[in-house]
Structure 1
């Protein structure tokens, strides 16, 4: 997961309430981790007995985050609240961490599940098991108004010699490198808000993100816009990514029960009703499976 890219510092203040919540949650997660290491053969039964499931989140809108009112929300946490209640687990507890620490934190039992809309790919599938994805996603760039460099793909950005940025843990770094960017030349920022600030100020020309992240972050900007969604091309093939929940490799029973509920929600339309509150469109609903994405 580690990347060797240079970082552009940001000074965006984090609301005190968010900081306090993240610290408190992390402390609780650390305190309860020792208990969870004593596991039964059936992780679903264990969590039902505990009455609480701990969700790893990474503070990315709209996937999993703490809002300005200090409330724990996002498409993945809201789905988790519904599904785990139906599975007999009444309480979900957020554990805040940075994106790159989600899989290590899951496997070291700091939390029970990654609830962050994480892209499912071959590298991650070697470390965890995934639910089937709740969404599929293309990419987009945040650029200055009018898109002065006319960049609409990673290849365009390489040809234009655009100063290129993305965020910690984003798959877009790999896509930029596949298109020809030296990894050392990609600026790694904290999140999409830092990316917007960098584009607006002229420090970078392009910030790469998911299409949904890009269109949400520029909604109120007067100086930046999002490009039309596009597919990254890797080894000559167009990529369509999908995001899902990650589970420890031993927790097949928990993953399978969760998957069953996801499929019921897809069939009934309930999944989309939850997802569209966070900016997802019908075009971003998917029938892809984790098995397909892991390949």
Structure 2
């Protein structure tokens, strides 16, 4: 059974464990040679452990009440890296906005946090092909008194919008005409839900999976989630497709990872692994990192 926090107290307890594990795993990885596709895979096989950068976001990557790393991305990482000859994973918790800097400063080996592939991020890291695709949703006050269904509604009504640190939803909202400096930024979806419940924000934007999970887990009677919707960016549909990310130049590791991921997609194993975290066949995707990096 997958462990998931089910109350604010449990989430806070999980955060405490999260911090403890982060302190234990804060030393830097050794510098990799990224010439000719990199040698990180060989080094990981030799040491037997891969360090995963996670951001404490349910259902993508987080620490359970038992102080164990879980979520769709870490569970997928456990399987794929074992098949690549790396039997152990070690979580390195950090804030979402620090994942790319942390990866590139070698605080960990791979981002395992369901990070959306965007052209801007593709300039900074090397993405695997996406393991899921998801729509957006909003956390709103119970009954949705302002009738907020998408970012255009936020703009039209002048509602106070909140989102998470470095979330792609911020750019989607700005593209719809919401002023960037008016968007409240919170460290995670729980803080965002509380902001809405307490009236500090009218809506919190996140993925439909994130919104659904935090609403169901907290059972806060003052809020609800909206129906999922497809956002737009630069006049085009913005497909929220998440993937693992590696340092630039580590093409050997990324390609080996992609090979295993493709096998799991074709066999249906990928869906079986991520289904306990709320993913369905609707979230499965054949999009590639190459397509998404072009925008």
Alpha-carbon offset, residue 18 of structure 1:
4.1
Query: What is the match of residue 116 of structure 1?
Result: 113
CA drift at 1:69: 2.1
Q: Does 1:84 align with 2:81?
A: yes
The CA distance in 1 between the partners of 2:283 and 2:10, in whole Å, is: 32
What corresponds to 1:69 in structure 2? 66
Deviation, 1:68, is 1.9
Q: For the Cα contact (< 8 Å) 2:137–2:225, is it kept in 1? A: yes
Query: What is the CA–CA distance in structure 1 between the aligned matches of 2:115 and 2:32, rounded to whole Å?
Result: 27
For residues 54 and 109 of structure 1, the distance between their equivalents in structure 2, rounded to whole angstroms, comes to: 10
How far, CA to CA, are the matches of 1:150 and 1:21 in structure 2? Answer: 36
Partner residue of 1:144? 141
Q: The residue matched to 2:274 in structure 1 has which SS?
A: helix
Q: Does 1:22 align with 2:16?
A: no
Q: Deviations over 1:233-264 (max 9, x none)?
A: 22222211100000011210000000001000
- Note the 1:32-43 alignment, pairs <5 A: 32-33=28-29, 36-37=30-31, 39=33, 41-43=38-40
1:271 aligned residue: 270
CA-based RMSD: 1.8
Q: Pick from 199, 208, 211: which aligns with 1:211?
A: 208
2:50 aligned residue (49, 53, 59): 53
In structure 2, relative to structure 1, the CA distance for the partners of 1:170 and 1:17 (3 Å cut) is closer
Residue 101 (structure 2) aligns with: 104
1:287 counterpart residue number? 286
Return the TM-score normalized by structure 1: 0.91
Cα gap change, 1:38/1:265 in structure 2, threshold over 3 Å: closer, same or farther?
Answer: closer
Q: Is the 1:39–1:46 Cα contact (8 Å) retained in structure 2?
A: no
Q: Is the Cα contact below 8 Å between 2:13 and 2:65 reproduced in 1?
A: no
Paired residues, number: 282
Describe the superposition over 1:125-174 as per-residue Cα deviations: whole angstroms up to 9, x where unpaired: 00111100000011101011211111111011111110111111111111
**Is 1:223–2:217 an aligned residue pair?**
no
Displacement of 1:26 in angstroms is 3.7
Judge which range, 274-283 or 213-222, deviates more: 213-222
Alignment partners' CA distance in 2, 1:192 and 1:142 = 9
Q: 2:25 aligns to what SS in structure 1?
A: helix
Unaligned runs of 5+ in 1: 1-10
Q: Which region of structure 1 is more displaced relative to structure 2, 82-91 or 225-234? A: 225-234
- Greater shift in the superposed pair: 235-244 or 162-171: 235-244
